[in-house]
Amino acid sequence: MNRLLLFFFSCCPALFGCPALVRAQTPAFSGKPSSWHEGFDRYDFLMDTATLAITPYDAPADEGFGVKDPPAGFRRCIVVTPHQPAPGNPWSWRGCYWDHQPQTEIELLKRGFFICYISANATLAPGRTWDAFYAWLTREKGLSAKPAFIGMSRGGEYEYRWASLHPAAVSCIYADNPAVDRASLALLGGLAANDVPLLHVCGSIDPLYWGSTLAVENSYHAFGGRISVIVKEGFGHHPHSLRDATPIADFIEQSVRETGVASPDFVKAVYTGPGMAGDGAAGTGTAGGVAKTWYYSSIATTHWAPTGKTWLSERGPYFSGAYARYQLLIPGVDAFTTVIVPRQEAPGRPWVLRADYVTADDRVVQGLLAKGWTIVTGAVPYNYDGPVPAQWNAIYAYLISYGFAAKPVLMGRGGAAGEVMGWAIANPSRVAGVYAEDPLLESRLMLGGKAPLDTLAPLAKAGVPVLFVCGEDDTSLKGQAQVAAARYRKAGGKITVRVVKNEGHFLQLEDAAEVLEFIRAQTAQRS
């Protein structure tokens, strides 16, 4: 996150709704209310753009539920109140196009949310008027310090523009076929650092889906933030929202109600002295020697939505769940070790040790996390050609000291499989099993220059089972996996090579059941 923004928020808590300064009260709004959908009270106001003063306003009778442009020099402001405010006085902020597809806001009103709006169109972009509206609602009226944003099309552009400059003052963002400008894209790291969940709802043939949503999704995922996407098959830019807005309202309510979860014991105790790689690491927060982000699946699920008469494709943490991912600087290790923790640990704290980055489409990792396993990517120091044995030993000792299983499963793809095989060969008594995809059995440093392919005997004699899964078109299948299998069996070891048809070196494992059973079985036997 930009250090200037961090300083600004720390020095200006009053403007941006420091919870300690928000009065515990039932908000009261002056003026004569009109009725908005299903009998909710709507209060109208005018903001003077010169003085930023906000005064009650009698909306013209012919506006109905909508709103007209404000007089010159003013902004229209609207607040719709729930029949019974929810605890904390939560509210949603519409970025543009008041009363267009309002089904989400109507549902939120029923759940105790306030609904707020300030004039926004092509010539009325966010600026100091939005800042003043926010301060008035939070400081004077007692609404929550972190509103939920609702933005459609240009409204999405405006909500990102304001939220990206004030990331500590946002609970979540729902963006519907949004336009997102480059300046906001460049500041997404601040929203991720403040752990602001995002939900995009898009038509599959809307040009903005490809130009904006995918850009936001890719960037936010890289920053370690949480973004979920609903795609309406065959729909363009309109109609916005979902006919049944319950999933959107659920997302907003869950995001607003979220509370922090304590970090695991091994995270709290991590080294926080000098030698950090810097505090600019991407993620949802850094503290001393720790950076926290999120890991979740990118694999979409689809279902038919009868109310909308379309197929919906859904992906992201709102649908698959998310797992906390920590980067730790462990004593004696020159680079970050990455640890992805399950929501509920399995007995005995089983874990996987690997050398490669965990991708968002890895079904094996996701299956293990769901079963309570911890996933650890051992550090690869920046000034070495690969993992350093002594440093991996330090990682192992550190985790074992916190009650992790004495025998992890080693796991890797391609060249990373060679590195984990190297560590396993050097530490056969510490290994429950080895699983590798399309292995290249070479290692830079683990075995002092020797190749794992030539030094399999210690691991085989220790009775460590091995499972290789290889694409049938992988050029290394015959020269690596099958040669290793023959040598491993000759040394008395147990090894299985599973070949996946129509796959090459970078295979996509669609069914992880066999791998998960292999890992579970070996761990149970050797724990």
- 219 in the same domain as 88: yes
Tell me, what DSSP letter sits at residue 216?
A: H
Same domain, 222 and 117: yes
Res 20: pLDDT: 36
Give domain status of residue 78, yes or no: yes
Query: Using alpha carbons only, how large is the chain's radius of gyration in Å?
Result: 27
**126 in a structural domain:** yes
- Structure confidence at residue 525 (pLDDT): 65
Give yes or no for a contact between 82 and 56, defined as CB atoms under 8 angstroms apart.
no
How confident is the model at residue 125, as a pLDDT?
A: 82
What local confidence, expressed as pLDDT, does residue 272 receive?
52
Considering the domain architecture, whether residues 346 and 386 belong to the same structural domain is answered as: yes
CA distance 118 to 295: 36
Report the alpha-carbon distance of residue 131 to residue 117 in Å, rounded: 13
Shortest CA distance to 333 belongs to which of 382, 371, 287? 382
The answer to whether 125 and 151 have CB atoms below 8 angstroms apart is: no
Residues 250 and 268 in one domain: no
Identify the pLDDT of residue 15.
Answer: 40
Q: Where are the beta strands (DSSP E) in 270-382?
A: 286-287, 290-295, 301-305, 310-315, 323-328, 337-340, 351-354, 374-377
Partners of 231 in the β-ladder: 202, 313
Same domain (yes/no): 352, 396: yes
Is 416 in the same domain as 491?
Answer: yes
Amino acid (1-letter code) at residue 488: Y
Whole-number pLDDT of residue 526: 53
Q: Is residue 253 part of a domain?
A: yes
Which domain-ending residue is among 404, 426, 445?
404
What residue numbers bound the domain in which 98 lies?
A: 34-257
Same-domain check for residues 487 and 416: yes
End-of-domain residue from the set 257, 283, 306: 257
Residues 364 and 390 in one domain: yes
Instruction: Tell me how far apart the alpha carbons of residues 57 and 54 are, in angstroms, rounded to a whole number.
Output: 9
Domain boundary among 404, 420, 448: 404
Print the SS3 string covering 281-304. CCCCCEECCEEEEEECCCCCEEEE
pLDDT at 269: 77
Q: What is the pLDDT of residue 3?
A: 32
* Angle formed at CA 49 by CA 188 and CA 27, multiple of 5 degrees: 75
CATH number of the domain residue 193 falls in: 3.40.50.1820
Contact call for residues 419 and 385 (beta carbons, < 8 A): no
Q: What is the pLDDT of residue 120?
A: 86
**Same domain, yes or no: 437 and 490:** yes
Q: Is the pTM of this model over 0.75?
A: yes
Question: Do 478 and 384 reside in the same domain of the chain?
Answer: no
Q: Are 70 and 119 in contact (CB under 8 A)?
A: yes
In a domain, 142, yes or no: yes
Within a domain: 16: no
Q: Is residue 79 part of a domain?
A: yes
Residue 174 DSSP SS3: strand
Residue 102 belongs to a domain: yes
Q: How many residues are given for the chain?
A: 527
pLDDT of residue 168: 97
Q: What is the mean pLDDT of each run of 10 residues along the chain (527 residues)?
A: 32 38 70 96 97 96 92 95 97 93 98 96 85 97 97 93 96 96 94 97 94 95 96 93 96 94 86 40 50 95 92 96 95 94 96 95 96 97 93 97 97 96 97 97 92 97 97 94 97 96 89 94 68
CB 421 within 8 A of CB 410: yes
Smallest CA-to-CA distance from 509 within 359, 357, 390 is with 359
- Same domain? 360 vs 267: yes
pLDDT score recorded for residue 18: 41
- 246 and 109 in one domain? yes
Any domain includes 356? yes
Cβ pair 453, 481 in contact under 8 A? no
Domain count, the chain: 3
CA distance 506 to 439: 10
